[in-house]
Amino acid sequence: MPRSLSNPTVAAQPKPAVKQKDRDPVAAGMRDAAYNRSASYNYALFDKFEAGVALRGTEVKSIREGKANLKDAYGLLKDGECFLLNAHIGPFSHGNAMNHESLRTRKLLLHRTEVRKLEGMTKQKGFTLIPTRLYFRNGRVKCELALAKGKQEWDKRATERKREADNEAKSAIARSQRR
C-alpha cells in the first residue's frame, strides 16, 4: 500500500541542502560596475544624484561582465530630459547582429524636480554633469551623476598635496600605535 502524505505517522524527510553558487558581486550590487576615477581629480564634485539608465538587454549584460567605462562621459540636459553621452559600454560577448552600439546616447531617468534643479545649476558658468559610477540596485542599472566644476592645474596640485599629507599622517599614527 503506498504511503499517504497526509498520514501523520510518516515523518517528513529533510531535503539535502543544495549549496547555491555565489552571485557576482557586481550583479548583486555589492560592488560598482564602473567607476570614474578621473572625475574627482579633474573636477570639484558637489551635489550627487541617482538616475536610472534606459538600456538595451545586451548593454545590461555587458555591464554585468564589467565592460563599462565612464572616463570621457558627461551628462547633457536638453528639452527637459537628461542624457548620458560618451559612456562606453562594450559589445556583449555572446551578442548577435542585434548587439548595441558602444558609444550611443542613453537617456537618464530622473524626476522632473531633479531635472529642473540640475538645469538651474548647470546654467551657472563652469558647472557640468559628470557620471561618477554605474552600479546595480535591485537588479536595475543606476548612474550616479555629480554636479561638477572643472579644476585648474593648481587646484589639482593642491588636492594631490593634501592627499599626500593625509596619507603621511595616517601612516605616522599607525606607526605610533604599533610601538
Query: First-to-last CA distance in the chain?
Result: 77
Confidence of residue 38 (pLDDT cuts 50, 70, 90): confident
- Residue range 25-150, CATH number: 2.40.280.10
Question: Phi-psi region for residue 80, left (φ > 0), alpha (ψ -120 to 50) or beta?
Answer: left
Confidence of residue 179 (pLDDT cuts 50, 70, 90): confident
Grid coordinates of 148:
561638477
Q: 13 pLDDT exceeds 80?
A: no
Q: By CB neighbour count within 10 A (0-12 exposed, 13-18 middle, 19+ buried), where does 107 fall?
A: middle
Dump pLDDT digits (tens) for 134-147.
998 888 889 999 99
**Average pLDDT estimate for 28-48:** 83
The 3-class secondary structure across the chain, one letter per residue, is CCCCCCCCCCCCCCCCCCCCCCCCHHHHCCCCCEECHHHHHHEEEEEEEEEEECCCHHHHHHHHHCCEECCCCEEEEECCEEEEECCEECCCCCCCCCCCCCCCCEEEECCHHHHHHHHHHHCCCCEEEEEEEEEEECCEEEEEEEEEEECCHHHHHHHHHHHHHHHHHHHHHHHHHHC
Grid coordinates of 167:
596619507
Dump pLDDT digits (tens) for 81-130.
999 999 888 888 777 777 777 788 999 999 999 999 998 888 888 899 99
Bigger pLDDT: 125 vs 14: 125
Instruction: Specify the pTM.
Output: 0.71
Amino acid, single-letter form, for residue 82 = C
